[in-house]
Chain A
Amino acid sequence: MTDASVSSPVLAVENVAGHYADSHILHGVSMHVSPGEVVTIVGRNGAGKTTLLRAIMGILTKRSGSIKVFDKETIAFAPERIARLGVGYVPEERGIYATLDVTENLMLPPKVAEGGMSVEQIYQLFPNLRERRKSPGTRLSGGEQQMLAIARVLRTGAKLLLLDEPTEGLAPVIVQQIGATIELMKKQGLTLVLVEQNFRFAARLADRHYVMENGRIVDAIERSQVTARMDAIKSYLGI
């Protein structure tokens, strides 16, 4: 085994362009994530963060360039094939099914790899969900829905998780719980791409931050540089 294959990235996005119908949103995006890393994508509203995750997932159908997942070129793959490579997706809108109860929501995504959590472990991690297991998914509170959306991909054994603003609009104590869950995932060796508006939250977890502006990655900031470059970060995010 050579050195290169040891650190061969879990996700390598190279010069990706993406469109919705007539509007060109992503302009040559490149980024990479190594095994076990937590990487965030930060940027202002409308920068194209969600669109990038949708492009990686294959949900955005008009895309070009190269997206390698576990070393497989997926630019021409349908979403179900990409997911089956071991990718879990927690969408911005959470995507809890109203016609499925909590347990059914949890059981829906097929297992894509060995080593996922059992339902029992998940209910231990999120006791609220156990209490609500017979409720229709959309009767849950916002925080419970977010936990369910995260729990759902933990069961599948996916090794690369894409999380789109998991803390958006949630109370501080729930944000804390989600932060703890992400730390746990990291300890288990999962690789995470996290879209986050809450930079303080992101800074605690991430190994690297990609800054997105108008559909382009304009900067990459390593964990070690965060303090030194705080002013630049603040101006990128307008905070």
Chain B
Amino acid sequence: MSMQALFGQLLVGLINGSFYAMLSLGLAIIFGLLGITNIAQGAFYMLGGFTTWMLFRWAGIGYFWALLLVPVIVGLVGAAIEKTLLRRVYNLDHMYGLLLTFGIMMFIQGMFVYFFATAGRPYAVPPELGGAYNLGFMFLPKYRGWVVLASVVFCFATWFAIEKTSLGRTLRAATENPTLTRAFGVNVPGLMTVGFGIGVALAGAAGVLAAPIYPVSPLMGADLIIVVFAVVVVGGMGSILGSIVTSMMLGLLEGLTKVVYPQGSNMVIFVIMFVVLLIRPAGLFGRER
């Protein structure tokens, strides 16, 4: 096995980890604030990828504009869904939220399958990010490096917004004690709409980053979300930093497994999930309830 192959797979792992991180970070925010396990997160990722493709195909709007616009569009779609649908299940058992978001996922995916069929659509790497760097021990395609960098920036910006800004302070307070936070004059229902929008916007942004790597298809989020949920189980629901760290770790581990035991690479995260569930059911960074 060559060093080239090893680093190549680690890079793939890091990229997968980046996608896991953005999706599970969004999930953590949504779960914390709304108490809803958003199964539709993968569908919002797909929506991000597809919107990127449509913006280019139908409006000639390129990659970098898409990176700016698509999270906003996906976030607004999410906010509308929160206001019209999710709102109705907050006072019910958690299971209703799970089932509702499952239905939303099926609906979004179904619509895209209906109109676009399941074939993947290619999206060109933007010319500014074409080519590769020769790092000596490996070739690093510029775009792949960009994906890792961009997702780190997205995750860090989100973490910073939550931990260091007044909006984040209010968000944390509303997550911890929504009733009291309302009694201080904070519009918590409005904040929940914003929180859900931000959570799915992260998935949408991941969809933009993915478009030039994976073919854009209505089912691109369906496979990913299964792995992301395993990552969330390992990391523990609700911890922001925990979801980022766990995602990157598991992405790398998956890449490493591809080198040493390729047959096991699709399974390794689930094996780890199994072990973590046995030893620490609340997850590595989760708190026991």
Seen from chain A, the residues whose Cβ lies within 8 Å of a Cβ on chain B are 57-59, 78-80, 82-84, 89, 91, 95, 97-100, 104, 107-110, 112, 152, 156
- What chain A residues lie within 8 Å of B170 (beta carbons)? 108
The answer to the question of B57 belonging to the interface, with a C-beta cut-off of 8 Å to chain A, is no
Q: Which of A91, A97, A156 contacts B173 (CB 8 A)?
A: A97
Query: Given contacts A98-B176, A99-B176, are A59 and B183 in contact (CB under 8 A)?
Result: yes
* B139 nearest CB across to chain A (Å): 44
Whether the Cβ atoms of A79 and B183 lie closer than 8 Å is yes
A79 to B180: give the CA distance in the assembly, Å. 9
The answer to the question of B175 belonging to the interface, with a C-beta cut-off of 8 Å to chain A, is yes
Query: Given contacts A99-B172, A100-B172, A104-B169, are A110 and B186 in contact (CB under 8 A)?
Result: yes
- What chain B residues lie within 8 Å of A107 (beta carbons)? 166, 169
Could you say which of B176, B180, B187 has the most chain A C-beta atoms within 10 Å of its C-beta? B180
Could you say which of A80, A83, A84 has the most chain B C-beta atoms within 10 Å of its C-beta? A80
- What chain A residues lie within 8 Å of B169 (beta carbons)? 100, 104, 107-108
Whether the Cβ atoms of B184 and A108 lie closer than 8 Å is yes
Whether the Cβ atoms of A97 and B172 lie closer than 8 Å is yes
Whether the Cβ atoms of A112 and B177 lie closer than 8 Å is no
A57 to B179: give the CA distance in the assembly, Å. 10
Query: Given contacts A80-B188, A95-B177, A97-B177, are A89 and B183 in contact (CB under 8 A)?
Result: yes
Whether the Cβ atoms of B177 and A83 lie closer than 8 Å is no
* A59 nearest CB across to chain B (Å): 6
A35 to B166: give the CA distance in the assembly, Å. 33
- What chain B residues lie within 8 Å of A78 (beta carbons)? 182, 189
Chain A minimum-CB-distance residue to B185: A83
A108 to B185: give the CA distance in the assembly, Å. 10
* B275 nearest CB across to chain A (Å): 29
Chain B minimum-CB-distance residue to A110: B185
Chain B minimum-CB-distance residue to A152: B184
* A172 nearest CB across to chain B (Å): 28
Query: Given contacts A104-B169, A108-B170, are A156 and B185 in contact (CB under 8 A)?
Result: yes
Query: Given contacts A59-B179, A107-B166, are A83 and B173 in contact (CB under 8 A)?
Result: no
A156 to B183: give the CA distance in the assembly, Å. 12
Whether the Cβ atoms of B172 and A80 lie closer than 8 Å is no
* A180 nearest CB across to chain B (Å): 24
Please give 11 more A-B residue pairs, beta carbons under 8 A apart, in addition to A99-B172, A107-B169, A108-B173: A57-B183, A59-B183, A80-B188, A83-B185, A97-B172, A97-B176, A100-B169, A107-B166, A108-B184, A110-B184, A152-B184
Whether the Cβ atoms of A109 and B185 lie closer than 8 Å is yes
Query: Given contacts A99-B172, A107-B166, A107-B169, are A84 and B185 in contact (CB under 8 A)?
Result: yes
Whether the Cβ atoms of B186 and A80 lie closer than 8 Å is yes
Query: Given contacts A84-B185, A109-B185, are A79 and B172 in contact (CB under 8 A)?
Result: no
Query: Given contacts A107-B169, A109-B184, A110-B185, are A79 and B179 in contact (CB under 8 A)?
Result: yes
A99 to B239: give the CA distance in the assembly, Å. 12
A82 to B187: give the CA distance in the assembly, Å. 11
* B266 nearest CB across to chain A (Å): 37
Q: List 17 A-B contacts (CB under 8 A).
A: A58-B182, A58-B183, A59-B180, A59-B182, A78-B189, A80-B186, A83-B182, A83-B185, A89-B184, A97-B176, A99-B173, A100-B173, A100-B176, A107-B166, A108-B181, A110-B184, A110-B186
